[in-house]
Each structure stands twice: as C-alpha cells, then as structure tokens.
Amino acid sequence: MKPIRVLTAFFAIACISLSHGQEKKTDSITVVQDSIKVEVSVVKDTIINEVAVNHPVVIDSLWLETMYSSPLYDALPVAFDGDMKKVSINDVELTTELLRERLERLNEQTPFNLEYNPELERLIKYYLKTRSKYYPKMMARALYYFPMFESYLDKYDIPLEIKYLAVVESGLNPRAKSWVGATGMWQFMYQTGKQFNLNISSYVDERQDPVKSAEAACKYLEVLYKTFNDWDLALAAYNSGPGNVSKAIRRSGGHRNYWNIRPFLPSETAGYLPAFYANMYIFEYAKEHKIAPLTPMVHHFATDTIRVKSPLTFEQLNATLNVSNEMLQFLNPEYKLDIIPFVKGKNYAVRLPMQTAGDFVAMEKEIYALAAKEAAEREKPLPQYFEMNQRIRYTVRSGDYLGKIANNYGVRVSDIKKWNGMRTSNLKVGQRLTIYPKKLNFTVSKSSSSSKKIEKKIPANGKRMEYIVQKGDSLWSISKKYEKITVQQIKEWNGIWDGNSITPGKKIILYKI
C-alpha cells in the first residue's frame, strides 16, 4: 500500500552502520518526526545484537509517541532488558503459560494465525511495560471509532479484528501523516487514496475522513485477501505491497504461512504482524491488565451531520454554537484548513454532537448571516482583473509610451506590463495591448461614431470651462495644465471612453472644482 516508512529505514541503516564499529562508543542520532526532534544516545555494542533484530519495536514506540505526546521520549529505549518470563505490569503478573492460554483462546475466535512464539511474547510484554500510559487514550478513541469500523468490516465480510490495524498504522489519529506522505488512520498514499475514490483537494483530504477512509481500507483489504486467500498475508501486503509478499513466498520455497515467509519480508513488515497481534491481545485483555479507557470526547452514535449551504469555518461555528474547535477538529478531521467548503455536487457536511446539530438547525440563519458578513468584509479582487467586458485592445501609436497609456486609462504601468507579459517598457508602433480600464460609474450609450462614448457625468458644483484640443495634446497633458483635474474626470465630463478619441480642434468641457 505504501513504501516502508522512512523512520524505519533510518533506524535500520543506523543499526547497520553502527555495527561496523567494535569499540564501546556513544553516538547521537537526531530523529525528526512531525517537526519534533529527539536525541537518541546509542551504545554500539548493545545496539548491534538487540536493536538490529528488534528495531521495529523501537520504531513503533517512537511512532506512537508522535501520535499522542509531545515532545518525544527524552531517552528513547533501545532494548527491553530483564527477564521476559516474569513481567509484572500494574501489579499484574503475566506468565508465559497464561499468555499461551490467552493467545490460544484468541486464535480460536479469529481467522488469523495468532500462535504463541517467544518473539510475540517479548513484544506484548514490552508494550505492556513501556506503553501502558498510551492505551487509555487510544481506547477512548476506539470507543468512538471502532463501532464505525465494524459496520464496514461487516459490510465487506472482513474479520472484525482488522479494526486493530488502525491502531498499528496511526494510533487512531485521523490526521497522522508519515514522512513519505501516507495519511490518515489507514495510512493511504496519495495515488492509492485516489484509486479508492478518496477526494483530495486544497480544502479536503478524505484519507483523513474516518468513515470514507475506513470503507476504502475495507475495499483494498478485500482485494488483497482475494489475491492471497489468507488474512495474515493480506495484512502483510497492506503494509509492504502485494509484490513484496509474492516475492517472499517464492523465496521461501512456496510457503504461504506468514511465519514461514517472514524472514523474506522487508524488515518493517516482519515486525508489522507481531505489532498487530500484540495490540489485539492488549485491547482484548485490557481489563485483566488493569488498563481502562479514558472517557471519550463523544460517542459516534451521539453525533449527526448537516450539509452546508455555503462555506463555513470552524471559528464561525464556534462563535454561534459554542462548540470548541477541538471538538470540531475531532469530528471533522478531513477538513485540512478548518473550513467546510461549498462545492456544487460535492455535498460537504459538518459532523456535530447531536444537541449542537439541533442548535445549528435552529440558528441556521444567524450562522449563514455571520459567514456572509465575514465574506463581504474580506478584500475583493479589483474588478479590472476579472470583468472581461471591460477589456479593450489598444493599438500603439507614434509618440505613445507606457506611462501615457497607463494614465489615459487610470491604471499602472506595472499592470499593463503584467497583462501583456512585457519584461521591458519598450513599445512598437502598431503593437496591440490588452488593457483593463478602471470600472466607470456610468453606462455605455449607443453612438454612430467609431469610438465608444459614455453618458456624461456633470459635477454638482464647479465652474464650467471650454478647452480646444491642440496638436500633441493628450488627456494626460490637458489634466496637468489644470490643478486638481484628473484624466478620469475629463473622461466622465465629456463622455470619453478612449483617450485616443480626442483630436486637434475638438472642444472639451472642464470644470474647475
């Protein structure tokens, strides 16, 4: 589904490079994840034998930290030391015999090959000992998301235990994003998301939509299961791609049991299924390990959606409905900029707590009025850039220069250059220019003359004067002869549209205001 996470590859390379040294020495590795830095001190002769084999454990711990806590661990554990046969967490001892019994019970209830092995035991006990503080928060999220997932897993006839895949992929964080761009709880890459009809735009990323991404994941898993006819292999393919799983099967001599092809899979995928099994065990036996979920922010059944009729921001909903931005972001993680856009045919909706949804219906007019008011107060594009009916085509004449032309039409030289893709101010006689004159507050009247004319706009106060156009005159030069008279005013007073329409001997009217 996606490339191996860069974080995994980084640690793998780090472990290999460190293994070349023999002397006991501490190196400092800087890991950057979601703009957070962690300094990791690594003792070479310790990491060689343990982390090189078990680095997915370390990486998974780091990944979980970025999902739930900031900053990361001050000291990143590089190995799990101690006697794995006797581990007590929350004053609950987990013996190998008891773990075997529980795994066997889970194996009977699921189509996965959830069999005991020492490495899985090591991983489960490692998670219980080092990650217990995260599970209450994850389990609170699970109370909201899992019922939603289960409805789609059931719809596509997929094992319900697949819901724990989202725990491994993202820690149930819908806005999780890996270094390589995999996004959402189910970690879809851009192209894979598009392949399964997840809309991605500047405003919306449906890979972060809990409902739509869950259904897309089900569709993808359905395809993978049909390819391998085995759920363990389907999950391995979800992580590293079906091609890597097929190659591992061939290299193993044709074996199709995950544990038999595991040595031939990419390193992260080799730790992927054990992480899935370990999380499944901990969620299923959380009560026995005295791990209880925090109170969820809201239950999915206690929410409702409302389609928007115009763009709305989370801030506007917060101001009118008194619903926190945190709640809005939790319920609507697909909106990247905290804005619900309105696009014809898309039917974008906002999810709200049930009571708040009722308030939205009751206050709908006020909400949209606020949105309209704020939209009206935003700066608008100048009309000359967008009103195509105002565009004219000007032919350069002898004696023209950009400053003169710009002044005639009430625009800037830089505007003319931008509209016409000009790098210099040089002009040629006969050159055609596109110009967007400033919008005039009068209408165009019919005229039999070749030049356009407009209805005259006479000022209420002002002394009327007549001026006879001289050879070489322009509206700009005339305006300079009279203080406080502009080119635009001369046009309005005389019904002139095109500055080139004035000719020597023509009489124009001026007003001294």
Q: What is the pLDDT along the chain (513 residues), one digit of tens a residue?
A: 544 333 333 333 333 232 333 333 333 333 333 333 333 333 323 322 333 333 333 333 333 433 333 222 222 233 344 455 556 666 778 899 999 999 999 999 999 988 898 989 999 999 998 888 899 999 999 999 999 999 999 999 999 999 999 999 999 999 999 888 899 999 999 999 999 999 999 999 999 999 999 999 999 999 999 999 999 999 999 998 999 999 999 999 999 999 899 999 998 888 889 999 999 999 999 999 999 999 998 999 999 999 999 999 999 998 889 898 899 999 999 999 999 999 888 889 999 999 999 999 999 999 999 899 888 877 665 554 555 456 788 889 888 888 888 888 878 888 888 888 888 888 988 898 988 876 433 333 333 333 454 556 777 677 888 888 888 777 777 887 887 788 778 887 887 765 556 778 888 888 886
| Measured CA distances, 357 to 24, 306, 368, 493 (Å) | 62, 7, 15, 57
What region does 113 belong to: left with phi over 0, alpha with psi -120 to 50, or beta?
A: beta
Give the right CATH number for 98-289 from 1.20.120.530, 3.30.450.190, 1.10.530.10, 1.20.59.20. Answer: 1.10.530.10
Tokens representing residue 114 in the block: 């959830």
Tokens representing residue 498 in the block: 């095109």
According to CATH, where is 3.10.350.10 located in the chain?
A: 380-439, 452-513
Let me know: does 259 contact 115? Beta carbons within 8 Å.
yes
Gap between the Cα atoms of 116 and 95, Å rounded: 13
Give the other-Cβ count within 10 Å of 164's Cβ. Answer: 23
Gap between the Cα atoms of 367 and 485, Å rounded: 47
What CATH superfamily is the domain 452-513? LysM domain (3.10.350.10)
Let me know: does 110 contact 277? Beta carbons within 8 Å.
no
| Measured CA distances, 294 to 23, 185, 274 (Å) | 47, 20, 26
Residues listed for the chain = 513
Gap between the Cα atoms of 340 and 510, Å rounded: 53
Round to the nearest angstrom and report the end-to-end CA distance of the chain: 74
What CATH superfamily is the domain 380-439? LysM domain (3.10.350.10)
Q: Is 422 helix (H, G, I), strand (E, B) or coil?
A: coil
Q: Is 42 helix (H, G, I), strand (E, B) or coil?
A: strand
